Structure 1
Amino acid sequence: MATTVAIPDQDALRRIGASVRERLARDEQAYKIPTDTAEIYAIGGFFSPAECARLIEMIDAVATPSELFDSPMKDAFRTSYSGNFDPSDPFVKSISRRIDDRLGIRSELGETIQGQRYAPGQEFKDHYDYFHTSEPYWKQERKHGGQRSWTAMAYLNEVAEGGATGFPEAGISIPPTQGVLLVWNNATPEGAPNEGTLHAGTPVVAGQKYVLTRWYRVRPWKPSRRGG
């Protein structure tokens, strides 16, 4: 008989996925990207131009060379600058709460919002937001809230050229549009990590690109010393 391999956090991923899916289906402003490969939604005008400008200033204040969970930055895999916002800041709290409420996910499941800045030539090559549970880092991430369920990413400015978010398995490329909140389920409806969510921040050609990201776990997030 074939042995069934258990998928860590599968039940929670399935439950959270269903809850957010149902909520977004009722949201008249949430546009479902037409693909069967992954569950991807876009909400236009989620942030105002003034809010975007304020968030860009905050990113400039905290941005340092980006790191990766499973290895130091090498081979120009992720060349952006990024930094975590202060979760105790009232404005950051209000932004986090708005995203939480829109998806219907409890706030304690959300990681601290991270801002990213890309200059010309900078990119984040094809990657997944979910954790590879066979990797050594999973032992720690399991303690810090477990697997990532949904990703919420907002575009904060128009980019002169380049900088789209590409989902190669889905054949989709989404250009930056100021104020748009892009959200996707990192798991399948059955609760397994979805390889169709492979995505990349394609190289900026001209101008700069600013985004913010909030990832959600299946259990309350407990930050590590590295902040995520």
Structure 2
Amino acid sequence: MSLVTGEDLMTYTWVRLRAGIEPLEVRRQLRLKGLDDRQIRDLMQEAYDGRRPVDDVSYSGIANAAITRRALNHPDIQKIPAPKVQLYTWKNFLVPEVCDAVVELIDQRLRDSTTADAFADPKVRTSRTSDIGMLGHDLIMQLDELMAEAIGIHWSYTDVTQGQRYDLDQEYKAHYDYFIPGTREYQVFCQLGGQRTWTFMIYLNDVEEGGGTRFRRLEKTIMPEKGKAVIWNNLNPDGTVNPYTIHHGMKVRKGSKYVITKWFRERGWGDMFPPEYYTNL
């Protein structure tokens, strides 16, 4: 069987890892392309090369990512006045046509939403989730890069993008996006990528009633607006988790709510802060 070039294989591998396809499945696909186990091992090693250990994470860099400076002079970005949390809104981050296209993708692939704690009360999170980042769709990959560029952290330092749909009376009760250190969930879900850092959430439609995002310890509620992003850092500048980021996806009282969510992580490939992300702020 003829093989594509090494460069194309690397692109092939990176795109699938980026789309959230499990490494074992990527290996299986590479075998179908005619690679032997040694070639696959070397390729996967190269793809993962540069993933930083947690000890090398620049938490001050994360806390001073490009979004913090961009907010100083961008008319659509507002820093929420909350000294204990880095919390921003970005109006019109996505145009309506893109929002509508993402909503269509979400509705094509829905499952019941879950939490990291398998024994949690199922009423904690009653929405449905779409693993749109695993589709390998060009639009979602472009959005990955757009959100990463907006914050100023390379897209490889992220989880797979998810979409959520909330219908009447559905909600996600007060929770943290980070994993509590020392817990089983932390050991399981932070083993590869490390702790979650920034959260990037985008409202994809105007909700008829309800559906706000309530940061209860800040006494702040952000209401959905089509195309608006809500962005916050789950960590303090020293890398400790920030309990003031607890938030509640409030019940939809009329209509439906669609959002996409991307979580950034401590580990990724190569440089966390690409030089080009610091230009044109």
TM-score range, shorter chain: 0.7 to 0.9
TM-score w.r.t. length of structure 1 = 0.88
Structure 1 match to 2:139:
91
**Secondary structure of the structure 2 residue equivalent to 1:169:** coil
Cα-Cα RMSD: 1.8
- 1:31 positional shift: 0.9
- 1:45 positional shift: 0.6
Instruction: Pick the aligned partner of 2:177 from 129, 132, 154.
Output: 129
- Give the number of aligned pairs: 214
Structure 1 match to 2:64:
18
Structure 2 match to 1:62:
109
**Secondary structure of the structure 2 residue equivalent to 1:212:** strand
Change (3 A) 1:149 1:50: same
Matched, 1:193 2:241: yes
- 1:187 positional shift: 0.8
Identity, % of aligned pairs? 34
Structure with the bigger RCO (C-alpha within 8 Å, sep 6+) is 1
Higher-Rg structure is: 2
Structure 1 match to 2:166:
118
- 1:19 positional shift: 2.2
Name the structure where strand makes up a greater proportion of residues.
Answer: 1
Letter in 2 for 1:55: V
**Secondary structure of the structure 1 residue equivalent to 2:240:** coil
The whole-number CA distance in structure 2 between the counterparts of 1:217 and 1:9 is 13
**Secondary structure of the structure 2 residue equivalent to 1:183:** strand
Contact 1:17 1:185 (C-alpha < 8 Å) held by counterparts: yes
The whole-number CA distance in structure 2 between the counterparts of 1:83 and 1:133 is 27
Change (3 A) 1:173 1:9: farther
Contact 2:156 2:268 (C-alpha < 8 Å) held by counterparts: yes
Structure 1 match to 2:78:
31
Matched, 1:50 2:97: yes
Query: After TM superposition, what 4+ stretches of structure 1 lie above 6 angstroms from structure 2?
Result: none
- 1:11 positional shift: 4.9
Contact 1:14 1:189 (C-alpha < 8 Å) held by counterparts: yes
- 1:10 positional shift: 9.2
The whole-number CA distance in structure 2 between the counterparts of 1:162 and 1:47 is 21
Q: For each residue in 1:170-209, what CA deviation from the matched residue of structure 2 results, as whole angstroms up to 9, or x when unmatched?
A: 0000110000011000011232111100001000000000
Change (3 A) 1:14 1:72: farther
Structure 2 match to 1:154:
202
Instruction: Pick the aligned partner of 1:80 from 127, 137, 143.
Output: 127
Q: For each residue in 1:95-134, what CA deviation from the matched residue of structure 2 results, as whole angstroms up to 9, or x when unmatched?
A: 1111111111111001111000000110000000011112
Instruction: Pick the aligned partner of 1:172 from 208, 220, 239.
Output: 220
- 1:83 positional shift: 1.7
The whole-number CA distance in structure 2 between the counterparts of 1:73 and 1:117 is 20
- 1:70 positional shift: 1.9
The whole-number CA distance in structure 2 between the counterparts of 1:190 and 1:44 is 29
The whole-number CA distance in structure 2 between the counterparts of 1:180 and 1:168 is 20
Change (3 A) 1:64 1:23: same
Change (3 A) 1:195 1:52: same
- 1:74 positional shift: 2.0
